[in-house]
Structure 1
Amino acid sequence: MTTIAGVSANFTRDLDQNYSLIETMVAQARERGVDFLVFPEAAIGGYLSSLGNHGDTVKNTARSLPPAITLDGPEIRRVRQIVGDMVVAIGFCELGSAPDGTGEVRYNAAAVLDGTQVYGSYRKVHQPLGENMSYSAGDNYGVFDTPIGRVGLQICYDKAFPEAARTMALDGAEIIASLSAWPAARTATAENLQDDRWTHRFNLFDQARALDNQVFWIASNQSGTFGSLRYVGNAKVVDPGGNILATTLLGSGMAVAEVDIDETFRAMRGGMFHLRDRRPDVYGALTDTDHTAAWKELARA
């Protein structure tokens, strides 16, 4: 059996606050026998203080941006020291080189690691609501072998794109960790955030992507508020049948579930195997660049 968990918590620009909160959550997870713990997007240094064209997400407005760090820097080393033998996924702002070699850029990133090594990292591909003014986009999805199985990483808005999770499932992902800083709707926000339309979408995507690909899905999320954003929490563990095994709802804390990965896959995929039964020969429009360009023109109209 393997115990997996997603975190709902509030992370800010204060790195000492971040480390203290990580230590607290890791200690609580240890007490519950957690093998794999998924922290939210931007757990090191916090997320953006707003989204859209509000004047504080422009690349040259450094005052509002999270600190940019590297995979081999002191911040990641500190996290590895804290987690020890526990496997953890965690989000941060990564300082990297521009693909064209023109200089340094920022990426909204995540890594899966423990005290011994970084097993892999990911740079967010899909960017919502002006996020591209603060981060460059990643260009691939990786799946990484870890002590708890093959793990895929994605960040927030990625979950709205079935192709992202499917790519990782086809690469053998058994668990997909979906790290988020997912807020409530900016307009007509529900009085009870659990009933908010963006909360509904967050939860629906989590269940659908797990069921689509018959994988274990761990969703983490920020909670509370930061800048103009009100986060909706709802960290959860979803099984390959789309069933929610544990959730924090709006609160801070951990959604923890003990699972038998091999036996669950045999049971869920024994009668109906979504990956085996695909028909790639009729999916041409998914990768037809002319078709995609036409839709982008329609979206701008």
Structure 2
Amino acid sequence: MTAIRLAAAAAHFGRDLDRSLDRIGSLIEAARREGASLLVLPGGALGGYLADLRSPDPDTLPPAVAADGEEIRRVAALAGDLVVCLGYTELADGRRWNSAVCLHGGGVLGRYRKVHQPPGEALVYAAGDRLAAFDTPIGRLGLLVDYDKTFPEAARALALDGARIVACVSAWPASLTRRAERLTQDRQARLFDLYDCARAAENQIVWVSSNQTGTTGGLAFFGQAKVVGPGGDVLARTWTKGGLAVAEVDVDGEIDRARLVLYHLAERRPELYGQPRRSARPDGR
């Protein structure tokens, strides 16, 4: 079995697409110098993220690009021998999606449109309707976008579809209602870490998590990019400043060891996991 180096980026991306592409190029070169085979860039790496989640201003939205547009083609060319995952605002059929794409060797390996949306985001983006893994040169991989990892079913669906690595691209901000003075102590920063480790451990997969840093409008982003092993252990991480979290992992070997005695996917009881008879929402919807 062969170990590979996995890199997750914490970095700030704003509205300027040319600057975004320059920064993506710099991070790809940094990952290449580290000997990485996979680089996971943040959500909104092309054009940034929303500036306000409660009442987004339609005049200040991130620029939207086509899934087969020039910007995606430029990043695919930059990727070269790396597998590169990143998030962006996709424009198709007159609608916007909070999307992610996986690139390698000048082409596209996989695409994903964010399925789960917080309320403010749903005012801007259409929701995706598919969770599926795909094959890459470093093994079968799945994509998620930030809030998706709040839902165990999303990561579980990818693991059941054979994903050995999940790349979760994020533009995850600090709390909107009670932001801590230190971002590392913020409630949302704590949940971000908790979900990263839990999703890796419960599915016994390798989890590579990126995030934005800095501020956009009223949102402050806390970084905390990381690589998590199949036992839920953090193998490498950044903090609130930009940088790369890089870990060398024998993906298949670590997953096989984690599943040697307790194999969670095989020990499930799906016949007992039916739909609830009543809604769990307090408003009954």
Backbone CA RMSD of aligned residues: 1.3
Counterpart in 1 of 2:78?
82
1:63-78 matches, within 5 Å, as 63-78=59-74
Counterpart in 2 of 1:3?
5
Matched, 1:295 2:280: yes
Amino acid at match of 1:154: L
Q: Quote the Cα distance in structure 1 between the aligned partners of 2:137 and 2:212.
A: 26
Structure 2 spans left out of the alignment, 5+ residues: none
Q: Quote the Cα distance in structure 1 between the aligned partners of 2:106 and 2:69.
A: 15
Please give the secondary structure, in 2, of the residue aligned with 1:271: coil
1:95-110 matches, within 5 Å, as 95-97=91-93, 104-110=94-100
| Structure with the larger helix share | 1
Q: Quote the Cα distance in structure 2 between the aligned partners of 1:152 and 1:121.
A: 9
Q: Quote the Cα distance in structure 1 between the aligned partners of 2:65 and 2:79.
A: 18
Q: 2:223 aligns with which of 207, 210, 233?
A: 233
Counterpart in 1 of 2:247?
257
Q: Quote the Cα distance in structure 2 between the aligned partners of 1:67 and 1:188.
A: 29
Matched, 1:178 2:163: no
Amino acid at match of 1:72: D
Q: 1:165 aligns with which of 137, 155, 165?
A: 155
Please give the secondary structure, in 2, of the residue aligned with 1:85: coil
Please give the secondary structure, in 1, of the residue aligned with 2:208: strand
Q: Quote the Cα distance in structure 2 between the aligned partners of 1:136 and 1:129.
A: 12
The answer as to whether partners of 2:200 and 2:231 remain within 8 angstroms in 1 is yes
1:19-168 matches, within 5 Å, as 19-53=21-55, 55-56=56-57, 61=58, 63-97=59-93, 104-168=94-158
Q: Quote the Cα distance in structure 1 between the aligned partners of 2:70 and 2:284.
A: 43
Counterpart in 1 of 2:264?
274
Please give the secondary structure, in 2, of the residue aligned with 1:88: strand
Normalising by the residue count of structure 1, what TM-score does the alignment of the two structures yield? 0.91
1:300 offset after TM fit, Å? 6.0
1:90 offset after TM fit, Å? 0.7
1:188 offset after TM fit, Å? 2.2
Deviations 1:98-150 (A, max 9, x none): xxxxxx21100000111331011000010013101110000111201000111
| Structure 1 runs (4+) greater than 2 angstroms displaced | 298-301
The answer as to whether partners of 2:149 and 2:196 remain within 8 angstroms in 1 is yes
Amino acid at match of 2:10: S
Please give the secondary structure, in 1, of the residue aligned with 2:241: coil
Please give the secondary structure, in 1, of the residue aligned with 2:149: helix
Structure 1 spans left out of the alignment, 5+ residues: 98-103
Counterpart in 2 of 1:100?
none
Q: Quote the Cα distance in structure 1 between the aligned partners of 2:181 and 2:120.
A: 26
The answer as to whether partners of 2:12 and 2:214 remain within 8 angstroms in 1 is yes
1:191 offset after TM fit, Å? 1.1
